[in-house]
Amino acid sequence: MSDTETDAVGNGVAVFGEMHPPERTEAFRAATDPAIPGGRMQRLAAEFVFGRIWNGERLDRRSRSFITLGVLIAHRGGEEFGNHVRVALKHGLTAQEIEQAITHAAAYAGFPAAYASMQGAIRLFAEARKPEGIPAGQSF
């Protein structure tokens, strides 16, 4: 493995860490070991998705979160959608903006996909309303 590849993976893990809690980031880092099942795919996610896509210069992370939510709604992203609702809240989107994005997506991605996403988002909003779950700077 080249130093360049190692640096690219490390950069991606660092970006992931800016978006997720430390325990999740450490699990992500550990999963990039190419010797374990799925490690090569996880390295690709670290290098490409987080190191290049989420770290791009032309869009801020708040905008990227909006786009990601829309794509995950359309593809019925399930658990991954939930992960990105949490990330979107961290990037400054409000619960109301996320709900509006889901409602808007119903016209383009279909009502069943949007409805499933809304149910997941409602559960996450309830979880986030608990005192220990409210992200810094976020109010509901």
What is the extent of the structural domain holding 48?
3-53
Are 65 and 119 in a shared domain? yes
Interval 70-117: pLDDT, tens: 999 999 988 899 999 999 999 999 999 999 999 999 999 999 999 999
Residue 48 has a CB neighbour count (10 Å cut-off) of: 14
Are 89 and 36 in a shared domain? no
- Residue bearing tokens 């619960």: 95
Are 11 and 42 in a shared domain? yes
Interval 21-45: pLDDT, tens: 999 999 999 999 999 999 999 999 9
> What pLDDT was estimated at residue 138?
41
Interval 116-140: pLDDT, tens: 999 999 998 888 776 555 444 443 3
Are 75 and 127 in a shared domain? yes
Cβ 28 vs Cβ 42: under 8 Å: yes
Domains: count for the chain = 2
Q: Is residue 140 part of a domain?
A: no
Q: Is residue 138 part of a domain?
A: no
Query: What's this model's pTM, rounded to 2 decimal places?
Result: 0.81
